[in-house]
Structure 1
Amino acid sequence: MSVNATLPPLPPAWRTRLALYLDLIRWNRPAGWLLLLWPTLSALWLAAGGWPGWHLLLVFVGGTILMRSAGCCVNDVADRDFDRHVKRTAQRPVTSGRLSVREALLVGAALALLAFALVLTTHPAAVAWSFAALAVAVFYPYTKRFFAMPQAVLGVAFSFGIPMAFAAVRGEVPALAWALLVANLFWVLAYDTEYAMVDRDDDLRIGIRTSAITLGRWDVAAVLAFYVLHLVLWTWLVWPLAGGPWLAAGVALAAAQVVWHAWLIRHRTREGCFAAFRRNHWLGASLFAGVVLQLALGGAA
């Protein structure tokens, strides 16, 4: 066979199916898994006191992407009867009927198993905590039916990489890891309330509960308060491990982005709120960069 030969193209039916699977897991929208990745990697660096090694880095990057993708499958199955009434989500593969519920769940289960296989290569403590992480991720989509602030449950689900990172590095989950989870939860409350503000009118009509609805006219003020609580708690908790000018610069850059978000959501427009949500991963990236640079170049305080 010639070295220049290429593999035959996929049959049209296979290409269509692959496109549906990629749409199901939001492959073309990486902002979702980046929101999970940055605090997880920050925790990994903090737990290791610096570079954690290629093995753990690849495990947590791959596991984060896989579990976020699996979560999308579960979420779309749970919300399929609601999503068809929302313009932004009506054409999702499960909602539109282009993928069956069974098929979506099989894809989600396969992705979750791949993530579990990665975790199995780490410490048994991380393996044990992975079951709790999966339970919270599966439970979250159904809280929109009865809980006034389902974003708080999402905050736990999206922050579980923090205790798992400490478990993988140290073989235990110290109190600091749980405190960092709480700090990160406030960030999730901030950006997912912005997300909920996009669909507030549709959610009110179909009866879904969200933080944007619960907070009402205090939504913008609450989002900013959540951001401030996140930055204050995160800085206070991280400073003893990685305090210094680089961390301070990362926090300052994140704070500047909060001001920008306040400007974007001030009129509660769909476009402004969605733009703010989609750019939140840069805030997490700023905090991660502060941790990495401080540990690599400046040392701990």
Structure 2
Amino acid sequence: MSGTAARVADATGNWVDTLAPPWSRPYLRLARLDRPIGSWLLLMPCWWSAALAAGVTCDVSRLPLVVALFLVGAFAMRGAGCTWNDITDRDLDAKVERTRSRPIPAGQVSVRQALVFLAAQALIGLLVLLQFNRFAVATGIASLVIVAVYPFMKRITWWPQVVLGLAFSWGALMGFAVILGRIEAAALLLYAGSIAWVIGYDTIYAHQDADDDALIGVKSTARLFGAHTHQALIVFYALAVVLIGLAMWLAGAGLPAWLGLAAFAAHLAWQIRRLKIGDPALCLRIFRSNRDAGLLLFVGLLADAVMRASSG
């Protein structure tokens, strides 16, 4: 099969299709580098936590390096997680229109090759993790249990998005672990708020596959909420804003952080108002816009950290 064949339907026309060597394209698609939104969403809680923790210490001298390491680590571990997901879901993916063209069900990559690629990505993530203190290393390794079980949750619970939230929000703990060498109450609240955010945006994402999921028996909050999705999003997005706000309050955040949270909240409200669950293309666009929502909050937290450092 050629390197340009078997592209996933919502990932066409990107740099992987046009610039990457043909032999590398199936592996880049396994790592979702043709669709990096998941890596950005994994990264956002890491950056939030690092900026909030730096504000607590009134010291941003380490922040640029930590932000850069989190960037590399998030892309590596997101790729590893997606590769593991594709290995475990290969039979289900073959039955779903949007995913049947993924590299493993399409026959571009064997399971053995995917496992080797998984190990290589995990090694990069480990090398990043080892740049931090021992507590942060142990905290990072602990997340692997959640990552390992997540792909199986859609088979046994209507709430797989909760487990995804536990995994994707782990970075909210990591920033405090790296900067402070401990996990404070503010980090736990930030983690809880991020989980609520993930449940919301991944429910939007899951509406793309709701019909196919019903046919093959895969569960999701999109199917669970159905016509009540907008009301559910109001609950989870409001919970995210409140919990993140409590985390900021405990951490002594100043005006720039609160302005960032207000912008984040406004973006989430816009998503709910704009969403039409019967329009898969719109669901994908709104899901992707959560990177921008996360960046708005990060900019506020970063500005607050810099301000506190300069005045401290």
Structure-2-length-normalised TM-score: 0.87
> 1:130: Cα distance to partner?
2.0
Contact 1:242 1:295 in 2 (8 A): no
Q: In 2, distance between residues paired with 1:87 and 1:216?
A: 20
Alignment counterpart, residue 261 of structure 2, candidates 248, 251, 254: 251
1:80 aligns with 2:90: yes
**CA root-mean-square deviation:** 1.8
Aligned residue for 1:276?
A: 286
Q: In 1, distance between residues paired with 2:245 and 2:101?
A: 41
Contact 1:83 1:95 in 2 (8 A): yes
Q: Which structure 1 residue ranges, 5 or more long, are not aligned?
A: 1-13
Contact 1:180 1:237 in 2 (8 A): yes
Q: Which structure 2 residue ranges, 5 or more long, are not aligned?
A: 1-19
Aligned residue for 2:50?
A: 44
Aligned residue for 1:11?
A: none
1:96 aligns with 2:98: no
Aligned residue for 2:225?
A: 215
Structure-1-length-normalised TM-score: 0.90
Q: In 1, distance between residues paired with 2:28 and 2:252?
A: 38
> 1:298: Cα distance to partner?
5.9
> 1:242: Cα distance to partner?
4.9
Alignment counterpart, residue 20 of structure 1, candidates 22, 26, 43: 26
Between 250-259 and 35-44, report the one with greater CA deviation.
Answer: 250-259
> 1:176: Cα distance to partner?
2.4
Higher RCO, Cα 8 Å, sep 6+: 2
Alignment counterpart, residue 161 of structure 2, candidates 151, 156, 159: 151
> 1:57: Cα distance to partner?
2.4
Q: What is the SS of the residue equivalent to 1:94?
A: coil
Code of the aligned partner of 2:151: P
Runs of 4+ in 1 over 4 A off after TM superposition: none
Q: In 2, distance between residues paired with 1:99 and 1:145?
A: 24
Alignment counterpart, residue 193 of structure 1, candidates 196, 199, 203: 203
Contact 2:186 2:250 in 1 (8 A): no
Contact 1:243 1:294 in 2 (8 A): yes
Aligned residue for 2:70?
A: 60
Matched residues, percent identical?
Answer: 37
CA 1:55 to 1:258, structure 2 compared with 1: closer, same or farther past 3 Å?
closer
